[in-house]
Structure 1
Amino acid sequence: MPLDSNPAKPKLGMIMFLYMLGIFMGAIDTGIITPARTVIQANLGVGDKLGIWMITIFTLAYAASIPVSGKLADRLGRKQVYLVCISLFGIGSLICGLSANFSSFPMLLTGRVIQAVGGGGIMPIANAEFGTTFPEDKRGMALGLLGGVYGLANILGSSLGSAILDIFGIENWQFLFYINLPISIVIIIFGIIFLPLNKNSHQPGKIDILGTIAIICMIMSLIYGLKNIDFFNFTATLRTTAVYPFLLLFLLLLPVFVFLERRAQDPVLNLKYFTSPKVLITLAAGFFTGICMMGMIFVPQFSENALCIATGKGGYFVTILGLFTAIGAPLSGRLVDRHGAGKVLAGGFVVSLAGSLFLAFVATGANNLATVLISLALIGTGLGFVMGSPLNYMMLGNTKKENANSALAALSLVRSIGTVIAPSIMIGFISQAGIAAQQELLVLLPQPTAPVISQAVELKKTLEDMKKEPRMAAMLKDVEIPELSKVNGMRFDAGGTGSLPRELLRSLQSSDVTNITEKAKELSVYMYDRNTPQVIEQIQTGLQKGIDGISKGIYGIDAAISQMEGEAVNNNQYAMAAAVTTMKNQRSVMTDSMAKMEELRKIVPGAFEDAKKDYLAKIESMQPQLQKSFQSSLSKGFRQMYLTVAVFCILSILLLLMYREPSGKRE
């Protein structure tokens, strides 16, 4: 026996504490830097294209290290490998934190890789320890607590990151990593003292070096390729160089890996797992669990949209979700000890299915606190069941005891693949809903109207009256009052967001139901200010042309008056005098019109500015309509997302109907 079958309770308590603390630290770090990613990028001088690698490289190294760590634990013992993993995680965290002082992005990536290599071994080793060390009547409860901590940490990651940034300031993002150092030290010191030595009594064969290299390359290729697939544009992205070469490499390495594992004395991944129907069902359920779990990370955004609260405030609802997860996980463990893992896991998926359907069909339509809380209660409890003990119990019950670590590592790996694929699908629904919301917004926005200037109306009528006299019509044929209504033709192009400034585009992308009206006004101001200068310039140019035309007409009238006054000596003086008087009156009207045009030319910009204020006031008055439209569009995205989660829950339930509990004790 690797450990006394009835160890003292305090020792069991300390074992539980040390492994659960490691699980919490490792799992929470997958999301803890998400709130600070843009700040870290700016501080280290990199853009989005490079910055995303602080998450991508962690994901790749984490997944690749899982089967290797599990196999090493089978060979060398869980205590030694676990403490090494914790040490690596702590060293990686220190390097990540110091990268802020050296302003080095490569240093940050190095630290993230070391973190991930350490983190990949924590979960499967802890599960194996709980699954073999604890008495059978308490094993389900222990595994349930462990799964609950893992699920809770994944959910709380980004919220805890935001809290740390609030305490230390966003410029001190290195504390997101430094917080791991005291935790690592505590685990290492107390782990050396309290964790049992449990080296496998089974004599292992030669280390499978080639198989290890092959599986690392396979996992990294597969996950990187899947991570870059856009499932809403599947065919196109499948042909990109960020996807197909890596999936092709995986397919090419697969037969090589199978060949190597069949010849290896101690294979890094036991291929017999894939010939056992029970193990295959367990792994498939683990994959579906990873996908369903990722649907939960969008709970804050859903809550914010449903209850019309600002971005960032929905984190409180994660706490509620975590509370029900913490209730469901140990409860699932108790039930496993009584009713069997397969039935309890199926029950967990039923509860998750109920929660997903309630959210999709009720909560997204009702948009009130009661329906949100009911959704979180059902989903959280279901998540506690599926992330708790049943899956680990099933895997341990269908594999040999000496392979416990590598068996649970295989389970963790397929679950990780599910968590990698899921965001591409989930985010796709929200992105599509966001695009639809923006398009709907542009449809709802009123079109800008022309400023009403009384002088322009009067001038137009005066000019039309003057042109009724043939001689004046000839002189003023090129004089027109520009149409101020040209601004009515200024339209906002729903497909033109690509030409928006980066800051404005980011602002629009960060819209929520509480600020959509202000974001709409920002967009409108930009579009209005971008278009009106051209319109104003055209109007002022037209007015200047009119001024020049009238000036030329006045010159013509003066010449005609002089000619008529000269001819009056020899012709009918009374008739000529009347004509001259008429011409002088027309000249007076034209002079007055020219003065009004000069005045109009000066007041046009101000008139457009007043029209813009009226336009923005009109948008402000539409706030309830804009908020409802935005909320409805995003709700459709959440509905589709959680219907997808429901589909995977149904697939899992159907799969588990074929599962039969193993008879007898494990070998």
Structure 2
Amino acid sequence: MKNKSQNFILIMFLLGIFIGAMDTGIVSPARAVIGSGLGIDASVSIWIITIYTLAYAVIMPISGKLSDKYGKKKIFIYSIIIFGIGSALCGISNFYGGFNLILIGRLIQAVGGGGIMPIATAYIGTSFPVEKRGTALGMVGATYGIATTIGPTIGSALLNFVGNENWGTVFFINVPICIIVVLMSLKFKDDEVELSSIKMDIKGSIVISGMILSLMYGLTNLKFHDFINSIKSIEVYPYLIIFIVLLPIFLYIEKRAESPVLNLNYFKDRNIAITLLLSFIVGAGLMGIVFVPQFAENVLRIKVGTGGYLVTLMAIFSGIAAPIGGKIIDKYSAKLILLLGFGSTILGTLTLGLCVSQNNNKVALFIGLALMGIGMGFTMGTPLNYLMQTYVDPSEAATAQSTLSLIRSIGVAISPNILVNFVSEAGKELPTKLMNVMPPVQGAPSNIMSGGGSLPADTLASLQSADVTSIVDVLKKFASTMFNKFSPMLEKSIGSKLPPHTSASTVVNGIKDKYLTSVEASRGTIESTFQQTMNNGFAKLFIAAAIIALIGFVFSILIKKGKTETAR
């Protein structure tokens, strides 16, 4: 294959990977806006994300098997077309069709999206010679990493530009890119032939779909910080039971299938099994970036929503590291780049957890994020994709890549529910610690700030969603609410003690104003208490992320060179 043709094909597939990876992140900041625009609450609007995640995971192994049977380019282009149609329907739901149409659109999007990344990766890996495969897959890793990390930033910026009322734009942006990819596909002839005449494993495809749906949905709803109560939830245990019941049925079907949708031999091969385990670890570690914006906002004392731009720093370093990692793989080995990647992630997460969280050092924050970006670029896709294609027969490349992506998706589903425990525990400590540094109430009962009963819903919501820049104003509003609540009682208690012509309400309002002034005077102390309490939770989170990366580092040591690496 000529270099010019190779580069053209690479660009085409990278465009597909970019829109597929970007869409996951770009929709996240728009979910609340979409929910508001459609008149649905947050608990319902989460299905905009959930339905895509579930369908995406289900379709990956099936699309991989289809592409190995009928040709990677053909199934990839079908996937792009389906993704474009789903995107258009999601955008149209902004004006017509409402919530039902956007769910249908997201489902169709996921069917297309699940066939983009693994098939594109498999095609690129098998189309380039072994000595250039790492470099080509490095571009895949860079594209995927950049698109994934800057997706939320692009989503926020796009909404700021077009206005929240035009949220459909975040979906319409995919359509012209899909059209470009389809037109590009017409410019080159596919050299692939039909790889197999064996019938599709329909039974296995149906059962694995049920297994993935039940497992992913159960894990998504499982709250590890409240494991006992969570596992009893009707949103969790029935789905995990379904998975357990379907598993032996699936194994029975696959052992007898002529061409199984999931090759069970992958889990018997030592190197492939380790590669799949590392994919799970990378997926679990990847979700640590979900908490980076909130942590950065707390450290820098900036408003909620602006910390997402800090993720762009990680994306830049990830985008630089991935192709460099690909070249190192071509020259040395995938094992080396995995060790460098996990090592960089360990240093980055420990920098955030042990240094930044303790002293709010801005320089250390940027260094930690840069190291995490490098680690992500080195580990997220390139070496694992390379190893998988090294260990399996070329005729199973797409199936193998789909399996790799599926295992990573399971890691992604589990990780946030584990890591969020550390932040939620810190949040539980906040009320007590904040009350300890609140100024004493002069001229009124000292327990006036303890609540004395239920609070208005908006006040409770404000306390729960406060950040370091808003906590003082939230506490002032809380104090004002308490004074208003107890005003009748206070006025009655001091009314008989006042001099003539003095209003009890005037005195109470004076006490209230003086107290609010003293709260404002304590702003620095209150903000520092809030900041450090939350930082302690984030510190544990990043240390846990470092441990995950350490496990990845240890298992990377166990990897042995594949036949193509040995031959090289």
Q: If the length of structure 1 is used for normalisation, what is the TM-score?
A: 0.82
**Letter matched to residue 461 of structure 2:** R
User: Displacement of 1:28 after TM fit?
Assistant: 1.3
Aligned position for 1:270 = 263
Deviation digits for residues 108-152 of structure 1 (CA, Å, limit 9, x no counterpart): 111111111111111101110111001222210111111121122
User: Displacement of 1:95 after TM fit?
Assistant: 1.0
Whether the 8 Å contact between 1:77 and 1:197 is mirrored in structure 2 is no
User: What is the rounded CA distance, in whole Å, between the counterparts of 1:99 and 1:505 in structure 2?
Assistant: 33
Whether the 8 Å contact between 1:536 and 1:605 is mirrored in structure 2 is yes
Counterpart pick for 2:537 among 637, 645, 652: 637
Counterpart pick for 2:504 among 604, 618, 629: 604
Counterpart pick for 1:658 among 537, 549, 558: 558
User: Displacement of 1:664 after TM fit?
Assistant: 4.6
User: What is the rounded CA distance, in whole Å, between the counterparts of 2:366 and 2:27 in structure 1?
Assistant: 27
In the alignment, structure 1 residue 106 sits paired with structure 2 residue 100: yes
- Residue 636 of structure 1 aligns to a residue whose secondary structure is helix
Aligned position for 2:358 = 365
User: Displacement of 1:273 after TM fit?
Assistant: 0.6
In the alignment, structure 1 residue 284 sits paired with structure 2 residue 254: no
User: What is the rounded CA distance, in whole Å, between the counterparts of 2:73 and 2:551 in structure 1?
Assistant: 37
User: What is the rounded CA distance, in whole Å, between the counterparts of 1:666 and 1:369 in structure 2?
Assistant: 45
Deviation digits for residues 76-133 of structure 1 (CA, Å, limit 9, x no counterpart): 1111111111111111111111112125211111111111111111110111011100
Q: 1:664 to 1:49 in 2, by over 3 A?
A: closer
User: What is the rounded CA distance, in whole Å, between the counterparts of 1:500 and 1:48 in structure 2?
Assistant: 21
Aligned position for 1:65 = 59
User: Displacement of 1:274 after TM fit?
Assistant: 1.0
Aligned position for 1:160 = 154
Whether the 8 Å contact between 2:73 and 2:123 is mirrored in structure 1 is no
**Letter matched to residue 172 of structure 1:** N
In the alignment, structure 1 residue 621 sits paired with structure 2 residue 511: no
User: What is the rounded CA distance, in whole Å, between the counterparts of 1:652 and 1:431 in structure 2?
Assistant: 26
In the alignment, structure 1 residue 248 sits paired with structure 2 residue 248: no
Instruction: Select the structure of larger CA radius of gyration.
Output: 1
User: What is the rounded CA distance, in whole Å, between the counterparts of 2:363 and 2:417 in structure 1?
Assistant: 30
How do 1:209-224 and structure 2 match up within 5 A?
209-224=202-217
User: Displacement of 1:666 after TM fit?
Assistant: 11
User: What is the rounded CA distance, in whole Å, between the counterparts of 1:521 and 1:103 in structure 2?
Assistant: 43
User: What is the rounded CA distance, in whole Å, between the counterparts of 1:339 and 1:268 in structure 2?
Assistant: 33
Whether the 8 Å contact between 1:79 and 1:195 is mirrored in structure 2 is no
User: Displacement of 1:489 after TM fit?
Assistant: 3.7
Aligned position for 1:20 = 14
- Give the length in aligned residue pairs: 567
Deviation digits for residues 616-652 of structure 1 (CA, Å, limit 9, x no counterpart): 1101111111111111011112111111111111111
Whether the 8 Å contact between 2:266 and 2:273 is mirrored in structure 1 is yes
**Letter matched to residue 446 of structure 2:** N
User: Displacement of 1:665 after TM fit?
Assistant: 7.5
Whether the 8 Å contact between 1:74 and 1:403 is mirrored in structure 2 is yes
User: Displacement of 1:492 after TM fit?
Assistant: 2.0
Aligned position for 1:567 = none
Q: 1:35 to 1:534 in 2, by over 3 A?
A: farther
User: What is the rounded CA distance, in whole Å, between the counterparts of 2:335 and 2:431 in structure 1?
Assistant: 45
User: What is the rounded CA distance, in whole Å, between the counterparts of 2:197 and 2:494 in structure 1?
Assistant: 88
Aligned position for 1:48 = 42
Counterpart pick for 1:512 among 450, 456, 467: 467
**Letter matched to residue 357 of structure 1:** L
User: What is the rounded CA distance, in whole Å, between the counterparts of 2:6 and 2:492 in structure 1?
Assistant: 81
User: Displacement of 1:39 after TM fit?
Assistant: 2.0
- Residue 29 of structure 2 aligns to a residue whose secondary structure is helix
User: Displacement of 1:493 after TM fit?
Assistant: 4.0
- Residue 562 of structure 2 aligns to a residue whose secondary structure is coil
In the alignment, structure 1 residue 492 sits paired with structure 2 residue 450: yes
**Letter matched to residue 490 of structure 1:** I
- Residue 420 of structure 2 aligns to a residue whose secondary structure is helix
User: What is the rounded CA distance, in whole Å, between the counterparts of 1:8 and 1:614 in structure 2?
Assistant: 79
How do 1:298-337 and structure 2 match up within 5 A?
298-337=291-330
**What percentage of aligned pairs have identical amino acids?**
40
**Letter matched to residue 485 of structure 2:** R
User: What is the rounded CA distance, in whole Å, between the counterparts of 2:358 and 2:197 in structure 1?
Assistant: 58
**Letter matched to residue 3 of structure 2:** K
User: Displacement of 1:52 after TM fit?
Assistant: 1.0
How do 1:341-380 and structure 2 match up within 5 A?
341-380=334-373
User: What is the rounded CA distance, in whole Å, between the counterparts of 2:158 and 2:505 in structure 1?
Assistant: 49
User: Displacement of 1:199 after TM fit?
Assistant: 3.4
Counterpart pick for 2:80 among 82, 86, 98: 86
**Letter matched to residue 168 of structure 1:** V
Counterpart pick for 1:441 among 414, 427, 434: 434
User: Displacement of 1:503 after TM fit?
Assistant: 3.0
Whether the 8 Å contact between 1:131 and 1:393 is mirrored in structure 2 is yes
User: Displacement of 1:612 after TM fit?
Assistant: 1.0
Q: For structure 1, which segment, 531-540 or 425-434, has the greater mean C-alpha deviation from structure 2 after superposition?
A: 531-540
**Letter matched to residue 616 of structure 1:** L
User: Displacement of 1:204 after TM fit?
Assistant: 3.6
User: What is the rounded CA distance, in whole Å, between the counterparts of 2:190 and 2:292 in structure 1?
Assistant: 39
User: What is the rounded CA distance, in whole Å, between the counterparts of 1:388 and 1:489 in structure 2?
Assistant: 56
User: Displacement of 1:508 after TM fit?
Assistant: 2.6
Aligned position for 1:527 = 482
**Letter matched to residue 368 of structure 1:** N
Counterpart pick for 1:395 among 385, 388, 404: 388
User: What is the rounded CA distance, in whole Å, between the counterparts of 1:665 and 1:312 in structure 2?
Assistant: 45
Deviation digits for residues 590-633 of structure 1 (CA, Å, limit 9, x no counterpart): xxx9xx55x34xx1111111111111110111111111111101
**Letter matched to residue 627 of structure 1:** E
**Letter matched to residue 492 of structure 1:** S
User: What is the rounded CA distance, in whole Å, between the counterparts of 2:386 and 2:564 in structure 1?
Assistant: 14
User: What is the rounded CA distance, in whole Å, between the counterparts of 1:195 and 1:609 in structure 2?
Assistant: 81
User: What is the rounded CA distance, in whole Å, between the counterparts of 1:11 and 1:326 in structure 2?
Assistant: 24
Whether the 8 Å contact between 2:449 and 2:479 is mirrored in structure 1 is no
Q: If the length of structure 2 is used for normalisation, what is the TM-score?
A: 0.96
- Residue 405 of structure 1 aligns to a residue whose secondary structure is helix
User: Displacement of 1:439 after TM fit?
Assistant: 3.1
User: What is the rounded CA distance, in whole Å, between the counterparts of 2:542 and 2:152 in structure 1?
Assistant: 21
**Letter matched to residue 634 of structure 1:** M
How do 1:446-457 and structure 2 match up within 5 A?
446-450=439-443
- Residue 224 of structure 2 aligns to a residue whose secondary structure is coil
User: What is the rounded CA distance, in whole Å, between the counterparts of 2:197 and 2:528 in structure 1?
Assistant: 64
User: Displacement of 1:488 after TM fit?
Assistant: 3.4
How do 1:459-474 and structure 2 match up within 5 A?
none
Aligned position for 2:491 = 536
- Residue 429 of structure 1 aligns to a residue whose secondary structure is helix
Whether the 8 Å contact between 2:153 and 2:312 is mirrored in structure 1 is no
Q: 1:500 to 1:94 in 2, by over 3 A?
A: farther
Unaligned runs of 5+ in 1: 1-6, 451-484, 547-592
